[in-house]
Amino acid sequence: MSNDILSLIPFALVISLSGFVSGFIAGLLGVGGGIIIVPVLYHFLSLVGVPQDVVMHISVATSLAVIIPTGWRSYKSHQENDNIDYTVLKSWLLPTIFGSIIGAIIAGLISGFWLTFIFAFIAFFVSINLFINKEEFKIGNNIPKGFFGSFLPLSVGTLSSMLGIGGGTFNVSLMTMFGKTIHKAVGTASGLGFYLAIPGTIFFIITGWNIENLPLGSLGYVNIIGLLLIAPISSYAAPIGAKSASKLDNKVLTNIFAIFLLITSARMFLEIF
């Protein structure tokens, strides 16, 4: 037994390191730390023998749970730097929450294959977008209102909850395309990510409550051990990234992150086909 525990130490260190990187990236780029946490958990849990039919559900649910403390700290840091657009936050909040609930329910109903496929596809899309994205590209000067204005955050909330990410991956791009500065977009997205993660986590606990073959320490689909390893470090790193966002030219870091996502996407596609 002691040898088994010792053999897990390197993996625990990798997961803890991913917590720091994901928190820093979440604060710096507003893309959501879950886009890093999910693949790390996916590969770790696969290596320790968690069945493929639940491994992606656990990775996504645990990632959402981590985003709650990380998103809160990132949000408060951006608040201190006056990087929150409260008009957008208030108008997008309820659609985002409803979308998060819908996404968690859908994720609980579909197979691990399709959940992994969707994540790999979105990771590929986000990677390409990060490579070619131009901040000066705009399609409007104001955030849309009415039905379309609610449909955007509802869709982002649904897809983000399904994938275990905070929504910043999509929200930052949308806000900048509608005239918001990159710093306001990142800060506002961090707040929306925090509120998105709460209902999503709750519903992943509910939908996974009676599922068999879950690993030790699971509360529904949320793995408490993974949460405890990642969340404290991720929460510590998020304000560091948020403070750096106003100081750094993050083009190089963005490209490195895009390469990571491209490799992650390719590996996931190879594993499921």
Question: If pLDDT is split at 50, 70 and 90, which confidence band does 30 have?
Answer: low
Instruction: Read off the pLDDT of each residue in 248-260 and give the average, rounded to a whole number.
Output: 68
Residue 2 has pLDDT above 60, yes or no: no
Chain segment 59-99, per-residue pLDDT in tens: 999 999 988 888 888 888 888 888 899 999 999 999 999 99
Between the alpha carbon of residue 270 and those of residues 95, 117, 120, 172, 264, the distances in Å are 35, 10, 10, 30, 10
What single DSSP character describes residue 223?
Answer: E
- pLDDT of amino acid 105: 92
Find the mean pLDDT for residues 248-264.
71
Condensed to tens digits (0 to 9), the pLDDT of residues 133-190 reads: 655 556 666 787 887 778 989 999 998 898 888 777 788 778 877 877 777 888 898 8
Task: Please state the rounded mean pLDDT for residues 114-124.
Answer: 86
For residue 1, the model assigns a pLDDT of 39
Please report which confidence band the pLDDT of residue 249 belongs to, taking 50, 70 and 90 as the band edges: low
- Nearest-10 crossing angle of helices 146-163, 112-132: 120
The answer to whether residue 29 scores a pLDDT higher than 70 is no
Q: Which two tokens stand for residue 31?
A: 């893309």
Secondary structure of residue 183 in the 3-state scheme:
helix
**Mean pLDDT of the region 250-262:** 71
CB atoms within 10 A of CB 139: 9
Note the Cα 133 to chain centre separation in Å: 19
Residues with Cβ < 8 Å from 102, sequence gap 6 or more?
154, 157, 158, 161
* Domain range summary for the chain, segments of one domain joined by +: 2-272
**d(Cα 200, Cα 219) in Å, to the nearest integer?**
14
Model pTM? Answer: 0.81
